[in-house]
Amino acid sequence: MKIIVSVKQVPARDSALRVNDDGSWLDQSDLTYEMNEPDAYALEEALQLKEKLGGEVVVLCAGPQRVQQTIREALAKGADRAIHVEMDEGAYGDALAVGRILANALQPESPDLVLTGLQSDDMGYGQTGVILAELLGYAHATIVMEVEPAGDSVRVKRELEDGWYQNVVLPLPAVLTIQSGIKKLRYATLMGIKKAKAKEIRVISAARVEAGTSIERVYLPQKSKQSQIFSGEPKQAAQQLVEKLRFEARVL
């Protein structure tokens, strides 16, 4: 079974985020980066499936040269090889554009399964995996808790709201977005780190894709404090409060 895992490199959670001078994006001069945590769970699921069923795990990652650090981490954990879709810094676009770039890169691989994290820690779209499935014409399922391949199909357990779950059988090939926390993440061993240096990273150029949306401005929300005292009888004050919440704050 060939499994492709799409991973993303995101700013580390303890990074100090500052808006750049022109307000177009974040100041990336002093950011540190790490593997997107939801994608780490997708990678772990792929590695465990490989241990049970055999086959190959291929890591797919788009971004500038710095993402090879994240790719090497995935290879050290046990992935067999990687595909680096080289892109300029900041040239990511929206979820549809990224989905098209990834679809163009992995289509020649003809995988049985494509796994992604549920969403990214930076943008949080939660759409890339679903868009990828649509572009490839693959079956897909989201918020997946369990994966059980069987012949030319795969049975998945999806998490719904209120403690409910859904079991679905999908034909292969399929794209699955994996829920975070379903497995315990492994650490890269010293032997794995050494082996990763010899594993293949195929670098390809990103296909030219126009984004359908753009970010006009990034800014910090303004903080303000305002107090208002309602006088009179409690019933009258409560009525004034409700009117303020409904017509001015618009939270009712």
210 within some domain: no
218 within some domain: no
251 within some domain: no
Looking at the chain, which runs of residues are DSSP E strands? 2-7, 9-11, 33-35, 56-63, 81-86, 113-117, 139-150, 153-159, 165-171, 174-178, 201-205
Please report the sign of the dihedral spanned by the C-alpha atoms of residue 196, residue 66, residue 1, residue 51. Answer: positive
Q: How confident is the model at residue 91 (pLDDT cuts 50, 70, 90)?
A: low
228 within some domain: no
Separation CA 120–CA 125 (nearest Å) = 7
195 within some domain: yes
Domain that holds residue 140: 2-205
Separation CA 134–CA 205 (nearest Å) = 22
Mean pLDDT along residues 239-247: 88
Can you tell me whether residue 19 is helix, strand or coil? strand
47 within some domain: yes
Q: How confident is the model at residue 163 (pLDDT cuts 50, 70, 90)?
A: confident
Q: Which of 4-8, 80-84, 144-148, 233-237 is predicted least confidently?
A: 233-237
pLDDT at residue 6 is higher than 90: yes
User: Can you give the pTM of this predicted structure?
Assistant: 0.84
212 within some domain: no
Q: Which of 28-32, 128-132, 239-243 is predicted least confidently?
A: 28-32
At 90 the pLDDT is: 64
Separation CA 250–CA 248 (nearest Å) = 5
Separation CA 60–CA 86 (nearest Å) = 11
**What is the residue whose two structure tokens read 């409060």?**
241
Domain count within the chain: 1
215 within some domain: no
User: Can you name the residues that pair with 204 across neighbouring β-strands?
Assistant: 85
2-7 and 56-63: which strand pairing?
parallel
The CATH number for 65's domain is: 3.40.50.620
